[in-house]
Chain A
């Protein structure tokens, strides 16, 4: 039905870190940072994304899939085996914790698309994205948590420390981490609804409510995205995917679109930049993220933090040696980096773009 959908609303806290020299950091560290911001969540969702955690399977798409029913696993695996080479399947290791009485079945797959299945003009990544869309929208009770190479998302219903303990996070080491605790206001927590949201190697953690959700959603639908989760954050993830992967724009330009400068400031830009930004606002007007947000966007080459165009949600950044930290609150950074070299609050709409040194 054209009109019959429900949208999820949530508030949140977020934190992230990156080692520009690819020094790997234990998941216990990021969990400590996030746990400090317990009061920004309400125990109905927390999650983590990590890059560099699967060096032995770095060439394979790592699918983390959540099942609410065993039957869904059969359907998904039948579909995967038909379309992908499967290097390894295993259940994601978890520890029993008293706060989590019931958890979905969590399985990870290291896979690569079968070459003969990729027909027509679409590339390998389009093929993988289509497979994710198909699983999420067509197979009941199955949901892909993450799908990138050498990265993964771990998320569920619970407090930050509970989720970290459940997924045995301290056993993973990554050079980029993002994390999120959630305060849903209108829906019971659902494992799939926790952050991060990911697609291929993009991951998003997001604090805020996108007041422009309605048009962002309809814009993405024009490009074939199926918005199955009905959360703001899903929109952000898909917008990054559209702008960067499919339209070939750089990260900075994508940020210019999502948190566009005001016309009054565009008028003062140099002619080339004015022409560029005017064209971006004309062309990508429906991709403007309006309303309060701060978000961290992780990808295989780096980490980006960005606020909405009038900074209606907090975001603080800090550096220490080759490390860059970004979080909703400075205290969350100081919890794991007591003496940063620099600390600052990024200005409204101005992205903090950190790229790996190599």
Chain B
């Protein structure tokens, strides 16, 4: 057999003294790294992706997954990845695929932003003793309100009709991940947690499986270019509808779910034949312009008796103008998915070279909507690389109403960001449809872990608010005065609307 010149990335090792030949590693590995050699486990290390499933399930701690030390001659210009991709392309003539968000080195603005805290002149607030409010509403808000007053009692009564809003107990939601790209059990973990925590999950573009119907009061349904599973019942099933224009990991391109990942249940949910490739075109073929988008927004509103409509875009160079257009087209929510945004499968060249980071995009969009006096017309969701409650707090301070998390949620289910989602072999049962793998992901068990994560972030956000001396999330939202930039140039600071540390 032809041996690939693309070097293996990891070295799976078994300490034969510790190994008790239980074969659990063989059973657990979705990539067939291990096989039974008669008296011991054999290892085909080039298949290892370092998902660590075997490591966690080895009862005797015999397994170690090491970084493969054999490497190309170090070269500051020709990196390991450059050379390895060329070898792969030379062998296949194809486009190297990647899973998860871009792991490229480079400046990460979140890590160059520092939050404020109170000392003396204004007191900090103890979140363990005082109320600390994270409740958030997503959707259009009027620019002002009107009341009438009862002549006798003087009591006020609202006369302005409020647009529909989505109530969240915390400014965190789950990013869209479709059934097909992830398993039904993974979706169930998201749905259960959303319900448990009073937040939202999003179907992605794969339709809504029967089993998720008990959770629809915490579900946004998505309409994307493939229109999978879309019918009137689907549109009305959730609390809002999202039009997906683009994704941060692959701006400007569509999606391709291979036929191998379309078994019967996925096919039924997507309303396509079993085993056919599910192709999502690059553009939505009824949206070639902003006016087309407006028509679709209002078509969906008409179809749903005016539920909120979200429009999700990848953050590209002109994101501010595009977002302004989306708001003026009638969207209730603008979902910004940044450069670091995750994916199940994207061409590496697209994922690592197109689009702009969420921090710049968010700041630019929030500024633009304010300059145009339409910031109240839509909520902004920031996504694409939110790694922690600290990132969330910084995104909110830059102007986001809420953040969406995908990768972080999957990590609670076992994901180690190995980035091989597109293979359909996920040993944790997340990005696979192989029944023996998906069965591993018990929704009940993993919903507890994901709920724990949300609760932990909620506590962390409360601690941050308390240190900032405010007791409601809206007092942090867009309050860039509470951020300082470190090691950023003047122009970047100006784009972010943030002062440098020391000022």
Q: Which residues of A contact B (CB under 8 A)?
A: 1-7, 9, 11, 185, 208-209, 211-215, 217-219, 221-223, 247-250, 252-253, 260, 262-264, 272-273, 275-276, 279-286, 288, 290-292, 309-310, 312
Asked if B5 is an interface residue, CB under 8 A from chain A, the answer is no
Q: Looking at the complex, which one of A2, A208, A279, A291 makes contact with B162 (CB distance below 8 Å)? A: A279
Interface centre among A214, A247, A253 (most CB of B within 10 A): A214
Which one, B66-74, B189-197, B466-474, is touching chain A? Answer: B466-474
**A282: nearest chain-B partner, CB-CB:** B137
Asked if B487 is an interface residue, CB under 8 A from chain A, the answer is no
Q: Which residues of B contact A (CB under 8 A)?
A: 118, 120-123, 125, 130-131, 133, 135, 137, 141-147, 149, 155-158, 160, 162, 165, 367, 370, 373, 375-376, 468-472, 474-482, 493-499, 503
Main secondary structure of the interface of B (DSSP, over half): loop
**In contact, B475 and A1 (Cβ under 8 angstroms):** no
Interface centre among A211, A213, A286 (most CB of B within 10 A): A211
Docked complex Cα distance between A209 and B120 (Å): 10
Q: A211-B122, A222-B373 are in contact. Are A279 and B494 (CB under 8 A)?
A: no
Q: Looking at the complex, which one of B122, B143, B376 makes contact with A292 (CB distance below 8 Å)? A: B122
CB distance from A254 to the nearest CB of B (A): 11
Residues on A with C-beta less than 8 A from B149 are 250
CB distance from B402 to the nearest CB of A (A): 13
Docked complex Cα distance between A185 and B123 (Å): 15
Residues on B with C-beta less than 8 A from A252 are 156
CB distance from B373 to the nearest CB of A (A): 6
**B498: nearest chain-A partner, CB-CB:** A3
**In contact, A211 and B494 (Cβ under 8 angstroms):** no
Q: Looking at the complex, which one of A249, A283, A288, A291 makes contact with B469 (CB distance below 8 Å)? A: A291
Docked complex Cα distance between A250 and B479 (Å): 27
In the complex, the number of residue pairs spanning A and B with C-beta atoms less than 8 Å apart equals: 134
Residues on A with C-beta less than 8 A from B376 are 283
**A281: nearest chain-B partner, CB-CB:** B474
Interface centre among A6, A212, A248 (most CB of B within 10 A): A212
| Minimum-distance CB pairs A-B, first 7 | A214-B481, A214-B479, A285-B474, A290-B475, A212-B475, A209-B122, A215-B479
Residues on A with C-beta less than 8 A from B503 are 4, 6
**In contact, B141 and A3 (Cβ under 8 angstroms):** no
Residues on A with C-beta less than 8 A from B482 are 214
Docked complex Cα distance between A133 and B499 (Å): 25
User: Can you name 5 A-B pairs with beta carbons within 8 Å?
Assistant: A215-B474, A247-B145, A282-B137, A290-B472, A310-B471
**Given A211-B122, A218-B480, 13 extra CB contacts under 8 A:** A211-B475, A212-B470, A212-B479, A214-B482, A217-B481, A218-B479, A219-B478, A249-B145, A272-B156, A279-B158, A288-B474, A309-B471, A312-B123
**A246: nearest chain-B partner, CB-CB:** B144
CB distance from B405 to the nearest CB of A (A): 22
Residues on A with C-beta less than 8 A from B141 are 282-283
**In contact, A218 and B478 (Cβ under 8 angstroms):** yes
Q: A282-B137, A282-B165 are in contact. Are A253 and B474 (CB under 8 A)?
A: no
CB distance from B345 to the nearest CB of A (A): 38
Interface centre among A2, A219, A252, A253 (most CB of B within 10 A): A2
Q: A211-B470, A276-B158, A285-B474 are in contact. Are A249 and B147 (CB under 8 A)?
A: yes
Q: A3-B497, A276-B158 are in contact. Are A286 and B477 (CB under 8 A)?
A: yes
